[in-house]
Structure formats: C-alpha cells, structure tokens
Amino acid sequence: MLRRAIDLFNQRGYDATSIADLAQSLGVTKSAIFHHVASKEELLAAALDEALTGLTAAIESAAARHDGASAAQRLRGTVEESVRILAAHLPAVTLLLRVRGNSPVEQDALRRRRVVDESLARLVREAASEGDLRADVDPDVISRLLFGTVNSLVEWYDPAGPVDPDALAHTVTALAFEGLTPR
C-alpha cells in the first residue's frame, strides 16, 4: 500500500491525491485503507521516513568510521552510499525532494534533510582543511554541487534500466573526485 501511495503522490502530487484515489488504484475500499492507516499524512510521513532513514544512516555511518579513514575518504563513501540509497528507494527519495514544507510532517522532513546536508557540508570542509580537496573551489559550493548531482538522479535514473546501482555509484564518485579527464 505504501508503494502505491508513493507512486500516486509522485505522479499526481500529494495534495491532489486522496485516500479514495489510493483505494481505487488498489481495488479496495476506503475503509480497508483506514484499517491500516489513520490518514493520508501518515502515509506521507512513512514515505519520507523511508528516504530519510537511509540517507541519515549513510552519512552517520561514514562520519562514525574509526578506521583512520580521512575526511575525503569518508566523504567519498557517503556520496557512494547516498547514490545506492537513492537507487534502492527512488520513489521515496523523489517524494522527499519535492517536499516544500506545507505541513508539520513536511517541515519535519525538511529539518531532517537539513541535518543530512549539514553533516555532508561539515565533511567537505574537514576534507578541505586536511588538504584533500583542491583549494581553488569553495567547500560550500562543493557540498551543494555534490548533493545536486546525486539528487538529479531522480530525474532520469531507472532502477529497472541498464545502469546498475554499483556502476552508477562508481560513475558519480569518479566524476566528482577524479573528474572526467583521464589522469
């Protein structure tokens, strides 16, 4: 039911989708749905939580590594893992990226997204201060570009298509860290 709800929210927009639409799409009655969830907002909260739990875990596990990895290595791991999360939870992440803060549930999701963004920005600044990022670019712009590049995947990536998540994660990190020009 959550899968179908996320798909409808993405296709028609959250506001334009009713529990009646969801019931019709699943071929069940509205009361069958209300047997499982109290409101449409509960479905939205579950969907956003799915996306945010994965992204938060990706950045926290990278930040918590105690294997002597440099900030740049942890940053690279975070970007790679974020791509995998996005590929594995594409509909939920797509929904998350469209949230504009129109309700307490959406505002809470935006707050959690900002925590993830700030952790990544911190990692970028740490890598820069360790001398592992080129010095002629602004670390804050870099964090924006890294997230922008990863997030832009929702516009075209098809998990059922020819590019598998590992190849995708490799290509994104290769582009960002070594660049397209052969070394």
Q: Which residues bind its own copies (CB under 8 A)?
A: 72, 127, 131-138, 141-142, 144-145, 147-149, 151-153, 155-156, 163, 167-168, 170-172, 174-183
Q: Which helix (H) or strand (E) holds 113?
A: helix 104-129
Least separation, in Å, of the C-beta of 85 and its own copies?
Answer: 17
**CB of 85 or CB of 172, closer to its own copies:** 172
Least separation, in Å, of the C-beta of 164 and its own copies?
Answer: 11
**CB of 68 or CB of 148, closer to its own copies:** 148
CA 121, 183, 83 angle in degrees (round to 5)? 40
**CB of 26 or CB of 121, closer to its own copies:** 121
Give the type of residue at 67: D
Least separation, in Å, of the C-beta of 78 and its own copies?
Answer: 13
The three-state secondary structure class of 23 is: helix
Contact between 99 and 170 under an 8 Å Cβ cutoff? The reply is no
**CB of 107 or CB of 171, closer to its own copies:** 171
Determine how many CB atoms are found less than 10 A away from the CB of residue 42.
Answer: 14
Q: Give the Cα separation of 74 and 63 in Å (integer).
A: 7
